[in-house]
Structure 1
């Protein structure tokens, strides 16, 4: 029998405190490799390609951190996690950071003793159904069977939504996105519910994607972002500001195409110069060299480039920027100042 991977809150918190005490930044440097927890396979966000190389929006964050810290974006061990296993893997020190579609919530931050270092995707929970079901609203799903990943906020939101709307449902528990896709396409459930981005990613892999509809209701706030263990502040700063570097680079017009030119003194913008390490001592403050952010940005480009390449409107996933546009374009994306 497979041993349960679900630990109690106190156990996870205790593991996290112990692992954090060691100092992850030093561990990663000494090891020469970043252990990064990712999803077990969500196209566009984290999945192996035909050559077994991990690709995706969340994967890009791992590679950027590895580039910043180790000067090598390939020095990453990608460790697939599920909704059940991800927090134990992080708390125990099996992974150095979790870059997986994980929602920042009060209890995960405070009770499980994790530190969310930022938001790399503003999302919300939605519903996907076969077009043949003839449903146009989630409020028409009374009595439906629903494929739902266990150990997730999605599971809790689903219960809340149906209770509030005085509807019933029959859950079909699954652990991974791949299992959900298989069960849904086999007709084991009428509905698949998860983050709307995950639904778009899953539908993009269907042979007949047009036969499936994502319903209009978004029933929750799902701010997704990387996380580390509580108490590991130096490492948290590294991951946080690497993500911020990608976001700020887009706002400041720094791209993979012009970064070499801009870092050689082609700009008089002091914030760009601080970001790229040609002015000031921000790298030293992080325990890194002056070019850490340059390396992070060069891996896959700025936030906008990473978004467009992996999940944007020109990809099979086809996601618009929406809330994930820069604040200057009406979105929520905003990096604190580099000063």
Structure 2
């Protein structure tokens, strides 16, 4: 019989990240829920959706009645809920993880609110799996003014947030993107996680696209693995570089995003430049999605870790015309199924 784990999720945050203001309009959560629920490939559908806990999708200040209504609403689409993105940035009510005492207090408070919603959704039975995504909420340039001191301060903030998460039965996942100070290179990401030193409570969220940018040394030339004049047809060298990153961060990985990347950076709206997600079918995509997903879902010996109970597709900053086309999500679902067929397992 076909594998039924890990569960296959779509992401809601691409409807918000890089949208609004002078860029394209925010895509309503209901639109994303409908597109996710309607995707189908050979009778297989998405199992769930991962959420951005911020307006206008799901308010971080939702009370218990509002959370219950949202859970019932999502269940009406036949979907479960997985990981959350907590709005820990200054413009969203949080603050820099290496900022003032007040900044850091607001950061931790946003984590607390997200964890409370997460726990309630678990108790309601709609959220069987998933962590709370965080980042340092600060750019690389500001971090670089005092790398050692700022990384220590970020680690302290993450540790305080970890106490909150553990009290709620939650775990935190730090997504390595080249735009976040102290998390912008694979070596700095490992250093930060080791400083926090809360295995099982604070881990890494591996996004295939963002993680590939680590090999190119964007914002961290000293940690570049691939040469500047890299020939993308040299598959063996790419594989070795990507495996170096995966081997370093896999022991910390607790959440996983399937994605494709064309090897460039891109920013939209108020989001800083980071790895460009591209469509499954993009001829410029540099990753073999199915094979490279195995670098994260299997250990160095090729054995399934079975650590991720669900995996999620991430297509941040896709144009709205792409995101609102049902064909996009059928293609994404097809790619996700191939990943599960190759690196999943069966539970009855």
Report the TM-score, using the length of structure 1 for normalisation: 0.29
Report the TM-score, using the length of structure 2 for normalisation: 0.29
